[in-house]
Amino acid sequence: MPGTDGRHAEGRVAIAYLQPLLEAASAHGIACATLAQAAGVLPHSLEAPAATLAARDYVRLLDAGARLAGDAHFGLHVGQRARMGTYSAYGLILLSCKDFGQALEQTARYERLAHDLGRSTLQRDGAIAHYRWASNFPGASRHLVDSVFAGVKVCGDWLAGMPLPPAQLAFSHDGGGELLRHAAHRDEYVRVLGSLPAFNAGANAATFDARLLDWPVPNADVSLYPVLCRHAEQLLAQRHGEMHADGARGIEAQVRSAIVAGLRHGAAKLATIAAALAVTPRTLQRKLADAGTSFQAVLDQVRFGLARDYLRQPELSLVDIAFLLGYQEQSAFNHAFRTWAGTNPGAWRLQQMLERRLDGQQVP
């Protein structure tokens, strides 16, 4: 097993982040079951209903894919398949950032919502900026670092709507050792990343002109930035609570987290949430009953809480909110909200607006 420490032994990877790896393996004719067996991972953990995968299993799958494919640049080719949706909830935040500096800052903040493979930092030093990525699995193969930086490059180019200027790269791994003697091996790094990294460095880093941080993100929907950040903060808080909860209370926190992750994809049903937590629906129901609640009660609480937050954001229409809560029709959302609040969502929003205006008035 690639080296890690106890702090990261229970880290997770969102299933969306796993998809580029599975696609890269499939391009070499490697089936999921074959890949899972080679990595010593349970095949059902790679299926779509699952919400997350153990980070250590992701690293095993990455190495197994490279081995089975015989691809010396498997990590680069995994990263090339990254899309904004790969990064789960924080990918949406990136689409609403006003400039690249803000996008990289939010990457450092919310990266853990996509994976616990490592952490990003951004430093501006006068005219130069440094993006660094510290791996939580320093004993892993070079494919892990390669995949991360290739994903950053691909999504950065996509956000910009054009190829970004090449950065000066430095990686802590050896770049393939003897393979670097071959021009084709070096050229593939340049083709995917834009420049040949310096290998055996002290850190994994990209150094570039700091003016790039001020580049605007074309077509960014900046109006959604505040609400998306609040949503991401909720997810972070739930993850923190899940990590520190135990016993019956722990299962409720896990269910809440899985529901929030699945709502927008219509995957907030008992069977899919149970599969995401690797238990049977009956077992999940029993555990929730032991905690003094039920699946429907937790689902309603999560939806009602998020609905109130979203309704306070005037830029979100009722159709948008219904979608964010996992409803296929606005009418279904209206009916549910009336059950929870005793009034329809439009009236509740209007009442909130009136109360805010009254609070702001001076009483003579």
Is 348 found in the same domain as 284? Answer: yes
| CATH number of residue 80's parent domain | 3.90.1520
Q: Closest Cα to residue 19, out of 73, 90, 79, 103?
A: 79
Decide if 220 is inside a domain.
no
Q: Say what the pTM is.
A: 0.67
Contact at 8 Å (CB) between 261 and 234? no
Q: For the beta carbon of residue 204, count every other beta carbon within 10 angstroms.
A: 23
In terms of domains, do 210 and 154 share one?
A: yes
Q: Return the structure tokens found at 51.
A: 């919400």
The CB density around residue 67, as the number of other CB atoms within 10 Å, is 14
43, 137: one domain: yes
On whether both 270 and 191 belong to a single domain, the answer is: no
Residue 361 belongs to some domain of the structure: no
Q: Note whether residue 219 is domain-resident.
A: no
Structural domain boundaries enclosing 202: 6-214
Name the DSSP letter for residue 362.
Answer: P
For the domain that residue 265 is a member of, what is the CATH number?
A: 1.10.10.60
Q: Which of 195, 214, 233 is the last residue of a domain?
A: 214
Say whether both 256 and 302 belong to one domain: yes
Residue with tokens 């109006």: 223
What pLDDT digit, counting tens, does each position of 228-249 carry?
A: 888 888 888 776 665 554 444 4
Residues 89 and 210 both lie in one domain: yes
Residue 235 in domain = no
- Domain presence at residue 221: no
Instruction: Tell me whether residue 236 is in a domain.
Output: no
- Count of domains observed in the chain: 2
In a domain, 332, yes or no: yes
Q: Which of 167, 154, 234, 190 is nearest to 73 (CA)?
A: 190
Are 89 and 185 members of one domain?
yes
134 with 259, same domain?
Answer: no
91/205 same-domain check = yes
Task: Return phi, psi of residue 28, to 5°.
Answer: -100, 10
The one-letter amino acid at 6: G
Phi, psi of 129 (to 5 degrees): -120, 150
For the segment 289-316, what is each residue's pLDDT rounded down to a tens digit?
Answer: 877 788 888 898 888 888 888 888 888 8
**Tens place of pLDDT per residue across the chain (364 aa):** 454 444 444 688 988 999 999 999 999 999 998 999 999 987 777 875 556 888 999 999 999 999 999 999 999 999 999 999 888 788 889 999 999 999 999 998 899 899 999 999 999 889 999 999 999 998 899 999 999 999 999 999 999 999 999 999 999 999 999 999 999 999 999 999 999 999 999 999 999 999 999 999 998 888 888 888 888 888 887 766 655 544 444 688 788 878 877 776 667 888 888 888 888 899 998 888 877 788 888 898 888 888 888 888 888 899 989 888 888 889 999 999 988 888 899 999 988 888 767 655 443 3
Dihedral angle at the C-alpha atoms of 21, 25, 31, 36, nearest 10 degrees?
A: -50
Token pair for residue 133?
Answer: 């990525």
* 250 and 202 together in one domain: no
Q: Is residue 364 part of a domain?
A: no
18 and 113 in a single domain? The answer is yes
Q: Looking at 193, 214, 235, which one is the last position of a domain?
A: 214
